[in-house]
Chain A
Amino acid sequence: MTSSLPTRLRDGELAVDTRGLTKRFGDQVALNDVTLQVPTGAVYLLVGPNGAGKSTTLKVLLDLVRTEQGAAEVFGLNTRERAPEVRANVGYVPEFPTWGYGWMRVGRLLEHHALYYPTWDADYAAKLMQKFDLRTDRKMGVLSKGQARRVHLTMALAHRPPLLLLDEPTDGLDPFMRDETLGVLADHLAASPTTVVLSTHHVEEVEGLADHIGVLRNGELRAQMSRDDLNAGLRRYRVEVPDGWSGVASLNGTVLRRVAAPREVQWTVWGPEAEIVQMLTGSGGTVREVARLSLIDATLALLNPND
């Protein structure tokens, strides 16, 4: 029996639960039967190449995009039928910097935003503005991409929502501010019980935060699992092979990547380590190294289109 990549989480309370989301934009399939499961309290990293459907998935959760098939729930609330309640419990950072009113001053926009969220913490908002080095007297429309992103983060965090949907939250930030932002996010998670769905291309930045991962490719959820499961199930095997080696008939797992060099082959495989080692050894190879993958390497392996 071959171990396939998991696309369902084990039992537990879910903050986000989607079933069979399917969305097309014209001929293009943006989402194909996506069943996303985000446990309450998790920091869920949603990864995928451009156009994989990450932003669309987040928009579906806010009812900004409607699917042709499937349903989504946030904290048990149907996102289409109870959209205002869902949005009241979500802090959203969109991918594009023009979100908000370009003609409004930052301070007035925050005041406007605060009135829509009864739980808005004005002191916390002021602290965030200070940390993000933002001025309230500037118009939104003249801010740089990074500055706009920081205003959006303030808007998302200051009402202390139970769910954060962050779409490329560090995009456009300089290295110092990126570091500061991730620190703010870590502090926020420590102080407020929050579930986070985070979409980013900078996987290495959130290695210390993410405890779950979902991999989208071509609109399909290829895998989703906890970091513990990822660490337990995904390995890179470095195998020395003899001349004229005929290869291994099969591995009891999903081969994500195979790199061949003279007298050595590397496999990245999802599956039970002991059985895979046994099969590689049985085929005549000598297993020289079995290594865990960093989050970025695991992500690249899971996104590899050549499996």
Chain B
Amino acid sequence: MTSTSLHPTPSSRTVATEQFRAVGLALRTEGIFFVAALILFGALIIVSAVRFAHGDHSPNAHMGFRYGSSGAIPMFLVGLLIPFGVWRSEDPARRSYHWSMPVARGPHTVVKLLSGWGWLMIATILYLLFIIAVAYSVSMITGEQPWQRPTPAWEWAVAFTAPTLGYLLTSIAVIGSDHPWRWIGGILIGYGVLLAVLKSFGMEDIARALNTITDGRYGLNAALFGAVTDGARGITVGVTREAMATMRMATWVLAMPLWIIGSAIAVTVASYRHRE
């Protein structure tokens, strides 16, 4: 027992709110670039639409939008890069300020991780609103329908899950390692080299099995965009567009949770690991 009057720890709500604000501040430069890129891209499309409206096109041309799951690729790339901004100058070897705060270390790391994810989701909403706004602006300028075909709900959802998965995958390396680029680069290069070596030595079966990590039914492409490029499954042969879309959704619904849960577990383990 002590006779000293002890100070309280901060409330969880205060910590969460402040982390969200601080991470937002850390990502300010990236945010400015992101908005600038959207404005630039939007301006280019509007200029094209104006030209189109003035007849500067071939007679059968159309200028309408078709948004699909591959539209999430830019946000997936943003999700891959954002963790470096969230943890700027704070690899595990330099994280002593974050760790010396009066909060349990594991939850504190998770709060920061979630704050970064929160900003990523805000950026994703902004991205989708931008696409919708541009689609309707183009429609108003050209007089055409805003969408060439309706986008299924799951493909809109991909815009949120793909960057989430990218964010989690990079966060594992950024939170768990002092040298995340080495790990990410090493895994990507190692994977590519291993596949090439296996194929060059005629070990096609092993190479195909290994390839399922990215292109299989439960592979990364399936988890990100519902895409299965394994020709042996015959998905792209002899089926209607609607049937293919249904198959892609089914693939995505199975693979996506698997990858997100697995990545979330891995990033939580990295967050709770005591590093000195």
Contacts and interface: CB of A to CB of B under 8 A. Distances in A.
B60 interface: no
Interface in B20-47: 22, 25-26
Contacts of A98: 89, 94
Interface in A150-165: 159, 161-162
A75 B89 contact: no
A104 interface: yes
Contacts, number: 96
Contacts of A94: 96, 100
A115 B14 contact: yes
Interface in A105-138: 108, 112, 115-119
Nearest to B274: A66
Contact of B2 (A65, A75, A101): A75
A15 B103 contact: no
A208 to B, nearest CB: 24
B102 A64 contact: no
Interface residues of B, number: 31
Interface in B70-101: 88-90, 94, 96-97, 99-101
The residue among A59, A88, A99, A104 with the most chain B CB atoms within 10 A of its own CB is A88
Q: Which bracket fits the contact residues of A?
A: 35 or more
B102 A117 contact: yes
A89 B103 CA distance: 12
B100 A87 contact: yes
A76 B1 contact: yes
B9 interface: yes
B104 A84 contact: yes
B100 A64 contact: yes
B7 A13 contact: no
Interface string A211-229: 0000000000000000000
Contacts of B200: none
A159 B96 contact: no
B7 A161 contact: yes
Given A104-B25, A162-B7, A116 B15 contact: yes
B58 interface: no
B9 A84 contact: yes
A84 B9 CA distance: 7
Contact of B8 (A40, A88, A99, A195): A88
A119 B6 CA distance: 10
A62 B274 CA distance: 13
Contacts of A85: 6, 9, 102
B240 interface: no
Interface of A: 13, 15, 40, 59, 62-66, 75-76, 83-85, 87-89, 92, 94, 98-104, 108, 112, 115-119, 141, 159, 161-162, 193, 195
Given A64-B99, A85-B102, 12 more contacts: A40-B3, A66-B274, A84-B9, A87-B101, A88-B8, A99-B96, A101-B22, A101-B89, A108-B25, A118-B8, A118-B10, A162-B5
Interface of B: 1-10, 14-15, 18, 22, 25-26, 88-90, 94, 96-97, 99-105, 274, 276
